Amino acid sequence: MAAATGVFAVACGGTQSTTMTVIGPPVGLEPFYQQKLSWSDCRDGFQCATLKVPRDYARPGGRQLKISVIRLPAKDGSRRIGSLVTNPGGPGASGVSFLRTSSQAFGAALRDRFDLVGFDPRGVGKSEPVRCFDSRQAEQRLFADPPAARSQINAVVMFWRAFVAACQARSGANLPYVGTVNAARDMDVLRAALGDKRLTYIGFSYGTYLGAFYADQFPRNVRALVLDGASDPKLTGEEFLLGHAQGFETALRAFAAYCVKIAGCPLGAGSVDKAVDKISDLQERAARKPLKNRAGDHSPVDDDVVTQGIYMALYSRNAWPELRRALTQAIDDGDGTGLFKLGDEQEAVDSTGALKAVNCVDKPFPPDLAAVENLADRAGKVAPHFGSFIVWPWLPCAYWPVRPTRQPRAATAAGAPPILVIGTTRDPATPYKWAQSLADQLTSGVLLTYDGDGHTAYLSNTEQCIRQPVEQYLINAQPPQRGITCKQQPLDPAGKGAPS
């Protein structure tokens, strides 16, 4: 899942950290805060460096971790404000790769006035990544089917137990230290090493969770924070998964409403209810007899591959026309090639170790097999097309060697300047109500609503009613008025319009 997920818990031992409200270096951490980054050219105008942080903030004299950092220097050095630190989400997504591929999606005014900065959080990418299985073939099985019958449960349990054992064997020494609390502390060390007195930041999806943790630990070190596609720090793992599944069910109905208005829609020309029933029929058909596949390894496309393709396409409204064509191919011709391609996300496979490692320590998930089964059943009732598919991959948290050391609670960031929270009304991965909740929790939260589809709003849209207030806030540290709603442009049958 690309999407995942105060006063946050105080350190007791080495895995969590005290709430910080000072601007200067915390006592004992001066060498880290006073380090100077050594930048070197790393192609295409980017510069790269390595940040050193303590693995365990309670024992700063112990082992250090190396955090991979990248920046694109401001184009207008004479008007440079400072650094704009970014995080693309996950957890597990590489901030270094994200900046390389997405820097031009940031507005020209931001690229002129800020050094755009990305980093791989601890356990991710090039920052001592969590490794589990030692072959690409084994990692591909991470999208193994949820059990369709009780007879399959033992195999699923054995697979995830083997996965957890592999994570422990290859990355066990770092697993207690990869949670978001420590990643937020790393981000404050990065702020200081960049030479910024206060942090200017934009985070997407899980990056909002990281940003909320940062603001709550370091409220006086905040200059401006944009949290786009907000996750709610108050949620347990169970609540997170139920909300995530319901979000995708909402997004599926929005796609169906778009499709049935188009001539030749494979879901028919009737009601949205009848259209989503046709999705159910396709899932059941592929479970009985998998569809053919002309791509990749040509493995047949069963119901879970069908679901994976739909799931990935719903992240972006720009993918809806392609999803419509893939469903036509599957329903009319029994060919699942298009759905296979939509769901073939190697980056998600590569980041699964970090995804589980961070989430399993950040919040409590169902603690045993019976609890996971129960939650999968409940999720299937509120989100019949996605519930079980979303819940079962979180079984490994029941076997994870590091238990969560904090309970979810509100992020208040008392004393911080205004923080801008963006919520998309039909966001599949981070439902709009999570943005509403986060904006309410933050004592200085300001909610900007995007009435539209797709996951997150700023980077993937051209509407000035989103981009202008975000950019003006980051530049001037002045938020937009409360209560503003930006409406997404319609998507025409050819797929044109503001993509999301």
**Residues acting as catalytic residues:** 205, 427, 455
Q: For residue 114, what are the β-bridge partners?
A: 82
SS3 66: strand
Q: What is the DSSP letter of 291?
A: B
Which residue in 189, 255, 163 sits closest to 54, CA to CA? 189
| Token digits of residue 489 | 């442009």
Q: What is the DSSP letter of 150?
A: G
| Token digits of residue 240 | 């997170």
Helix (H) or strand (E) holding 2: none
Sheet holding 445-453: strands in order across? 40-41, 47-54, 64-72, 114-119, 82-87, 199-204, 222-228, 419-426, 445-453, 485-487
| Token digits of residue 25 | 């270096």
| Dist. CA 491–CA 316, nearest whole Å | 12
Residues 6+ apart with CB under 8 A from 163: 132, 133, 142, 356, 396
Which residue in 229, 190, 210 sits closest to 8, CA to CA? 210
Looking up tokens 């309670």, which residue turns up? 58
Residues 6+ apart with CB under 8 A from 59: 14
Distance, CA of 64 to chain centre: 26
Which residue in 34, 75, 433, 484 sits closest to 246, CA to CA? 433
